[in-house]
């Protein structure tokens, strides 16, 4: 049971990194468009492509989880989120940045797998309590994200926002690798 609770803690860390990455960069978007000499319209477009990235994968994750198992899908999502976050740090123009935001947003889609796994591994009463606590992360990120983003931008580059987010994603990936329970799959290999 201890490992299940550790899974929940590291999953919440992953969920937090996906949500806060979007909220932290918003105050820095004027710095991004300024550095890349891009029109200010890219500020709002950045949010749109991040959410679009989340939406693009939703249809495929259920079948993938049934075939490969929720554990593999969650780990894959965390890895992809981390890779795309690193790509954002290294982006050299606004188009690379926007592509990175689209792909990074896809990491948010994997959050649903964690909630499904909690419902699968805990009894109903525990699962509802845990999921309600986990859901508070999505409420906390828009409150803390812009504040943390401003603090980072005032003291360094907007790229450091994604370095911080990537660091959180690395820690969550290690924890999820160690503690995410295995699930039944249709794949017998």
- Domain extent listing, the chain: 2-179
CATH topology of domain 2-179: Growth Hormone; Chain: A; (1.20.1250)
Q: Considering the chain, what is the average pLDDT of its residues?
A: 93
Q: What is the DSSP string of 55-97?
A: HHHHHHHHHHHHHH-HHHHHHHHHHHHHHHHHHHHH--SHHHH
Give the whole-number percent of the chain exceeding pLDDT 90: 83
- Looking at residue 184, what is its pLDDT? 73
The string of pLDDT tens digits covering residues 26-53 is 999 999 999 999 999 999 999 999 999 9
The percent of residues in the chain predicted with pLDDT above 70, rounded, is 98
pLDDT band of residue 135 (cuts 50, 70, 90) is: confident
Burial of 83 (0-12, 13-18, 19+ CB in 10 A): middle
């Amino acid at each position: 049971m201890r490992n299940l609770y550790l899974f929940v803690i590291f999953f919440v860390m992953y969920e937090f990194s996906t949500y806060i990455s979007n909220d932290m960069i918003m105050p820095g978007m004027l710095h991004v468009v300024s550095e890349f000499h891009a029109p200010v319209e890219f500020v709002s477009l950045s949010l749109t492509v991040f959410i679009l990235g989340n939406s693009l994968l939703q249809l495929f994750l259920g079948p993938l989880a049934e075939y490969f198992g929720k554990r593999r899908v969650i780990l894959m999502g965390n890895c992809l989120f981390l890779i795309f976050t690193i790509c954002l740090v290294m982006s050299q123009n606004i188009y690379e940045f926007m592509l990175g935001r689209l792909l990074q947003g896809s990491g948010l889609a994997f959050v649903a797998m964690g909630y499904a796994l909690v419902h699968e591994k805990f009894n109903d009463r525990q699962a509802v309590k845990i999921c309600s606590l986990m859901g508070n992360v999505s409420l906390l990120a828009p409150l803390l994200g812009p504040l943390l983003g401003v603090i980072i931008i005032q003291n360094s580059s907007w790229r450091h926002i994604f370095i911080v987010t990537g660091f959180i994603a690395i820690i969550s990936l290690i924890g999820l690798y160690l503690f995410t329970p295995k699930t039944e799959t249709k794949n017998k290999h």
